[in-house]
Structure 1
Amino acid sequence: MRPEVVAHRGASEDIAEHTLAAYLDALDSGADGLECDVRLTADGHLVCVHDRDLRRIAPERRHQVISTMELADLHDLDVASWKRPWAELDDEAPVVDESLHGVLTLRKLLEVAADHPRRVELAIETKHPTRYGGLVERRLVQLLRDFGWDHAEAPVRVMSFSHTALQRVRRLAPDLRVVQLFEHAPMWPALRRMIGEDWIVGPGIGELTDHPGLAWRLAEGRHEVHAWVVNTPEQLALCREIGVSAVITDRPRVIRGLVDAT
């Protein structure tokens, strides 16, 4: 089985995560899809950011929290230099186009995918807990409707570790594909009883590696499986062996090459 190769926060091994540059590089590498995390700003915009605060991607503003900031404030941030801390000392480093390295809105990412000459899948993770609760999913579904992407055939799936969040998505857009993420093998028996028959399941690759029994139960079950974060040939081989249909990776160029070669 040829799994779909999905770029985790873009080509994030080499380029600062969640930036337009990372996503464009992932598309150039032949990634079938793009994965992103979304958070809601204080003025109601969905932005592609993983952490609740800025301590990792903009250390000079470490104490600020995404949900308390407006989009204009985020636009002024350098969220890429943490990935290349010595770039200013490298005379041979390529010139950086700063327009490709700022905070990215989800709307812009959707536009990039919509304008691409081939179909690009989007795996969008809503982050919880958040002060805005269900407003995140409502904003997300509204935005997807603007693109006509709130149905089963849309190139979009919504992911979350929060079962409640995915229930909200299904109430708002009953046919939209959803992925129940989980990272601890003992959670699976309870989740299996809670999720819908057509829900996709998203285990971490570490759990599949460390718990072969879980891997084969998922392989033999009725749910489609998407695994994260698959970065090595060995991890990819396991995913292919158990029939994982999508692998989310920091290394889309490498993993796509491996998939195409076998």
Structure 2
Amino acid sequence: MRPQVVAHRGASEDNAEHTLRAYVAALDAGADGLECDVRLTADGHLVCVHDRDLRRTASRPGVISTMELADLDQLDFASWKHPWADLDDEAPERDEELDTVLTLRKLLETAADYDRRIEVAIETKHPTRYGGLVERRVVEMLRDFGWAGLGSPARVMSFSYTALQRVERLAPGLPVVMLVERAHHWPMLRRVIGEDWIVGPGIVELQEHPKLGRRIVDSGHDLHVWTVNTQDELDLCLELGVKAVISDRPAYMRELLDR
């Protein structure tokens, strides 16, 4: 069975990550799902941002958790990706609304309004000053969409076992993905995670520890792998029967799978 192609922070190889532009490009490329990281603003809004601060993606100082949404909304989250774009006379005129901070609600609305089923993989970032409030707010928002139980097109991912336990308590039946950063964490995680939890190792760990993927599969857990961007990486995922590949290059992954 062919794996889902999930766009990592949108079609982020060619577009600024976590912008609406990147996600629209991923949908246009035929992505089956969208992956995002979420953080809480000081006034309680969930925004799609990976880093805790703004230096990399908005080219200025500032910490997401100490700022309000209205302040973030004034910032340009895209120019860092293509800093010379304004000098290109042949570049199409830019719709700045596609390049501002993206709220989780707007991303979910975009997925819900699409003309086919789009799955959404939401990663909660830890540690954070708001602790478990992040998971609570995510589940509340999924409830607003009717997506907080069995059959939901959404799933919650985290490197924090405690965070996923919270999600399971708040929304039994909502799929969760235990992200695995290091191969040596797996023997411990295997003993504690739920039987139906999905496991999400990084592709580098699977390549450097050839037995890891097979051990996870043999334990009965589905695999969702990040970040898969090349033919060789995809081939390894296909050998393991991976259920979802999370990629910066969703169009290229679709092309390889269509072959």
Which TM-score tier does this pair reach, normalised by the shorter chain?
over 0.9
Q: Which residue of 1 aligns with 2:20?
A: 20
Deviations 1:141-193 (A, max 9, x none): 00000000001201000000000000000010011000000111000000000
Spell out, residue by residue over 1:111-149, the C-alpha distance to the aligned partner (whole angstroms, 9 max, x if none).
001100100000000000000000000101000000000
Query: Normalized against structure 2, the TM-score is what?
Result: 0.99
The yes-or-no answer on 1:143 pairing with 2:141 is yes
* Counterpart check, 1:200 vs 2:236: no
Q: How many angstroms apart in 1 are the aligned matches of 2:218 and 2:241?
A: 9
Q: Which residue of 1 aligns with 2:244?
A: 246
1:77-156 matched pairs, under 5 angstroms:
77-156=75-154
Cα distance in 2 between the residues matched to 1:21 and 1:152: 30
Q: Which ranges of structure 1 fall in alignment gaps of 5 or more residues?
A: none
Q: Note the 1:46-65 alignment, pairs <5 A.
A: 46-59=46-59, 61-62=60-61, 64-65=62-63
Task: Give percent identity, aligned residues only.
Answer: 71
Q: Which digits, 9 at most, give the CA deviation of each residue in 1:16-71, with x for residues without a partner?
A: 00000000000000000000000000000000000000010011x22x10000000
Tell me the amino acid that sits aligned with residue 77 of structure 1.
Answer: L
Gaps of 5+ in 2: none
More deviation in 11-20 or 83-92?
Answer: 83-92
Query: Is 1:221–2:231 an aligned residue pair?
Result: no
State how far apart, in whole Å, the 2-side matches of 1:11 and 1:102 are: 16
Structure 1 residue 73 displacement after superposition: 0.3
Aligned residue for 1:82, secondary structure, equals coil
Counterpart position of 1:8: 8
AA in 2 matched with 1:241 = E
State the alpha-carbon separation in 1 of the partners of residues 13 and 6 from structure 2.
Answer: 13
Cα separation, 1, equivalents of 2:108 and 2:175: 16
Q: Quick one: which of 60, 66, 69 aligns to 2:67?
A: 69
Q: Secondary structure in 1 aligned to 2:55?
A: coil
* AA of the residue aligned to 2:149: H
CA distance in 1, matches of 2:234, 2:217: 14
Q: How far, CA to CA, are the matches of 2:140 and 2:213 in structure 1?
A: 35
By how many angstroms is 1:220 displaced?
2.1
Structure 1 length normalisation: TM-score?
0.98
Is it true that 1:42 corresponds to 2:39 in the alignment? no
Q: For the aligned residues, what is the CA RMSD?
A: 0.7
**For residues 218 and 242 of structure 1, what CA distance do their matches in structure 2 show?**
10
CA distance in 1, matches of 2:20, 2:250: 15
1:260 to partner: Cα distance: 1.6
> What residue is the counterpart of 2:181 in the other structure?
183
Which secondary structure state, in structure 1, belongs to the residue aligned with residue 256 of structure 2? helix
Deviation string, structure 1 residues 74-131 (Cα, Å, up to 9, x no partner):
0000010000111122111221100111100000000001100100000000000000
What is the rounded CA distance, in whole Å, between the counterparts of 1:77 and 1:43 in structure 2? Answer: 17
Find the aligned partners of 2:44 and 2:70 in 1 and give their Cα distance. Answer: 12
Describe the SS at the equivalent of 2:36: strand
Equivalent residue, structure 2, for 1:30: 30
Which amino acid letter does the alignment assign opposite residue 224 of structure 1? D
